[in-house]
Amino acid sequence: MKKYVVISGASRGLGFYLAQKYLEDGHIVFAGAREEYPIKLIELKKTYPNSLILLQMDVTDTTSIENATRKTLEFTDKIDVLINNAGIHSESSFEVLEKTNLDDCLSVYDVNSIGPLRTVKAFLPLLRNGSHSKVINISSESGSIGSCQREKEFDYCMSKAALNMGSKLLFNYLKKDAIGVLAIQPGWMRTDMGGQKADLDPYETACKLVSLFNRIEDINHPIFIDNEGNSLRW
């Protein structure tokens, strides 16, 4: 069945390849990007003129998300999959505490922790109309409090831990609407964020994730998993 999929941060990296994979599989994709004319997405739209819709959407800006929702409503009143993929870390993230600019934490939280909630809030009426609707939060193993051994990346790790808590709260809240919520660690990928030394190709990762999301039909409990579907410690 054709799915209606919204993806934030689809201008590059994992978000772009998730959009490409869903399109290849014949679904309708609403791809969010901060820029008005994201080059890679405009190229992709040449191949999928009718099934790729570009949304200008900055997840730190409520008005821009609401405008994106309005544009989506011009095409459909239902969304089956919402992928909160947009994410950042700060320039000083990998420094020791003394050299970390903690003022950056706020902007990282704004994108990584609050952005997904803003997006869910705006798209909620459409998610309620979807079939086996899912909210997928692209988290990270670095947001796991239970297995944390790190001593750096305060902003990023704390923002993803907050995203994980947001995922649990959302799960509890949306259970009555039969909207599932899952948090996933995609793996270390060769993107602008992951760097070129990373293990995984982002397109191959996107293919693996989409196949995993397709296999998860109904979500009856809060889930935090890796890209193989194995449970991670919250």
Annotated catalytic sites, by residue? 140, 156, 160
- DSSP structure string for 203-233: HHHHHHHHHHHHH-----S-EEE-TTS-B--
**Among 162, 180, 183, 161, which residue's Cα sits nearest to residue 171?**
180
Q: State the DSSP H helix or E strand holding residue 81, giving kind and residue range, or none if neither.
A: strand 81-84
CB of 75 to ligand NDP, least distance (A): 20
At its nearest, how many Å lie between ligand NDP and the CB of residue 200?
7
The smaller minimum CB distance to ligand NDP, of residues 33 and 135, is found at 33
Enumerate binding residues for ligand NDP (CB under 6 A): 8-9, 11-15, 33-35, 58-60, 85-88, 111, 138, 140, 185-186, 188-189, 191-194, 198
The nearer residue to ligand NDP, 188 or 234, going by C-beta atoms, is 188
Nearer to ligand NDP, 178 or 200 (CB): 200
The minimum distance between CB 49 and ligand NDP, in angstroms, equals 21
Report CA-CA distances (Å) from 201 to 58, 103, 184, 189, 207: 26, 32, 17, 6, 10
Least Å from the CB of residue 85 to ligand NDP: 5
**Least distance (Å) between residue 57 CB and ligand NDP:** 6
- By C-beta, is 91 or 98 nearer to ligand NDP? 91
Starting at the earlier edge strand, list the strands of the sheet with 28-33: 52-56, 28-33, 4-7, 81-84, 134-138, 180-184, 223-225
The C-alpha atoms of residue 208 and residue 135 are separated, in whole angstroms, by: 17
Q: Tally the C-alpha atoms within 13 A of residue 37's C-alpha that lie toward its C-beta.
A: 0
DSSP 110: I
For helices 154-174 and 115-128, what crossing angle results, to 10°?
20
Whichever of 133 and 185 has its CB closer to ligand NDP, that residue is 185
